[in-house]
Amino acid sequence: MCRAREIVPGTSIAATALSPTPIRVYFQDSSNGVREFSHSWAGWTGGTSHDIRFQAKPRSPLAVMEWVEGDKTRHIRIYALDKQNIIHEQCWDRSKGWHQGSLTSKAIVPASFSKLATTLWLGRSDLRVYYQRDDQRIQEHRYSSGTGWTLGATMGALLDTKPYKGTNIASIGWGTPGRSFIRNYVQDEDNAIWEHSSESSWSSLRLVGAVGKPYTPLAAVTWSDGKHGRRHIHLYSLDMDNQIQEYCYEGHDWHGGSLTSKKIQTAPYSNLSAIYWDSKIRVYFQSVDNGTIAEYCTDYGSEWFPGDVLSATPAGFKAIDTNGATYPVGWLPWIEDLKSWQTYDPSTIDAVGVLVGFIDGKLIGEDLKNQNAMILKPNTIGNSYA
């Protein structure tokens, strides 16, 4: 039905979810557009050329944050690098829809090898964006409703080493306005994973036993155990065999997580993204078979299980099922729009249809009564198609 090559091999993956709103997964397509998949109880939608939110530089890093204001108004912020290597902010707000954010106008230029991460501080709209400088240090830009975007903290130096040039960055935040916390994770030049902590003036701590392949992707989620108030952090990376590794912190020491034992194989170029909401975890990666975005899941502490596979349709095309086969066809939206202004009920009329597209010179029509698509053939006289 869909073509994986529309998902760029090695695309950054950025996922977000807040109950009860849908899961959203962002990726980059072959035209450098940043597309959106959306999931609700009805299943997955999106991933088409109609779901491009903005353009970014080729193989741009992506980071996303979503939150809900006190009046239950939802907000989304996506961060990427444009063709000039400037941090671009794309926003969704109910009152404006999709629009460019104010961080773009700051013209922040990270190192050419920089990745991006984002999280919330104090909840609400106090945002943090992290990127790598030319000296390999991790820099913060911060946003608050009172001051707008300002330069923030610089992460502390790693002991006797440096982060990789181009290290991935994973960022998580939690707390209340009176007591808030941020953790950032990076990889050093010896492949070890380090943690920066906001409450220790951004000093660094090497995670014992946490080692990834060089330039491993990093993703992290956090939540609080409602019963005991215990903080949980789960960190995801790839090992030398491109299998997903899970490291867990449950309030004391770090230890290996159960996902590691599943030996989930990813494409060698895969990135990672992870989300936690409503006692569920989802980890997203590019699959080893065809580069589609795959999902691994756990619900309420259950065993990990494979989830859905997300594929993207080619730009300007749409999948049509005809005669038991599926084709990506050139889509003609101005003809398809006939359905929106027709004044009759097509389900009551036999042999009424619309032209919806074409493939290899063949016309595709849809029978409106039965909503079946078919390849149209010329009649015996040769003056029409049916």
User: 217 and 303, same structural domain?
Assistant: yes
Q: What is the pLDDT of residues 221-260, one digit of tens each?
A: 999 987 777 899 999 999 999 999 999 998 888 999 999 9
Residue 340 has pLDDT above 50, yes or no: no
In a domain, residue 51? The reply is yes
Backbone dihedral region for residue 229 (phi beyond 0: left; psi -120 to 50: alpha; all else: beta): left
CB 312 within 8 A of CB 2: yes
In a domain, residue 10? The reply is yes
Q: Which residue has the tokens 């202004």?
A: 341
Residue 6 has pLDDT above 80, yes or no: yes
User: 266 and 177, same structural domain?
Assistant: yes
Rounded mean pLDDT of the chain?
Answer: 84
pLDDT at 369: 56
Q: How many CA atoms lie within 13 A of 55 on its CB side?
A: 6
Lowest mean pLDDT, pick from 19-23, 139-143, 147-151: 19-23
User: 322 and 295, same structural domain?
Assistant: no
What total number of domains does the chain contain?
2
**Residue 163 structure tokens:** 């982060």
Domain boundary among 265, 293, 310: 310
| 335 burial type by CB count under 10 A (0-12 exposed, 13-18 middle, 19+ buried) | middle
User: 126 and 211, same structural domain?
Assistant: yes
pLDDT at 21: 73
User: 154 and 11, same structural domain?
Assistant: yes
**Residue 341 structure tokens:** 């202004």
In a domain, residue 46? The reply is yes
Burial letters 184-193, b for 16+ CB under 10 A, else e:
bbbbbeebbb
38 pLDDT band, cuts 50/70/90, is: very high
pLDDT at 368: 58
In a domain, residue 382? The reply is no
| 352 burial type by CB count under 10 A (0-12 exposed, 13-18 middle, 19+ buried) | middle
In a domain, residue 129? The reply is yes
HEC assignment per residue over 236-274: EEECCCCEEEEEEECCCCEEECHHHHHCCEECCCCCEEE
CB 325 within 8 A of CB 372: no
User: 134 and 194, same structural domain?
Assistant: yes
Residue 291 has pLDDT above 80, yes or no: no
pLDDT at 225: 84
User: 271 and 136, same structural domain?
Assistant: yes
Domain boundary among 278, 310, 342: 310
Task: Compute how many other C-beta atoms are within 10 angstroms of the C-beta atom of residue 94.
Answer: 11
- Structural domain boundaries, residue 115: 4-310
Residue 94 has pLDDT above 60, yes or no: yes
User: 25 and 9, same structural domain?
Assistant: yes
270 pLDDT band, cuts 50/70/90, is: very high
Task: Check which CATH number belongs to the domain holding 238 and give it.
Answer: 2.120.10.70
**Dihedral, 47, 50, 51, 57 alpha carbons, nearest 10:** 100
pLDDT at 349: 53
User: 306 and 225, same structural domain?
Assistant: yes
In a domain, residue 137? The reply is yes
* DSSP state at residue 290: T
In a domain, residue 342? The reply is yes
Distance (Å, rounded) from C-alpha 110 to C-alpha 138?
Answer: 10
Q: What are the residues whose beta carbons fall under 8 Å from the beta carbon of 182, sequence distance 6 or more?
A: 119, 121, 128, 171, 172, 173, 197, 198
In a domain, residue 383? The reply is no
Lowest mean pLDDT, pick from 47-61, 152-166, 370-384: 370-384
In DSSP terms, 327 is beta-bridged to 320
pLDDT at 3: 45
Domain boundary among 310, 336, 351: 310
User: 142 and 284, same structural domain?
Assistant: yes
Task: Compute how many other C-beta atoms are within 10 angstroms of the C-beta atom of residue 264.
Answer: 22
Residue 338 has pLDDT above 90, yes or no: no
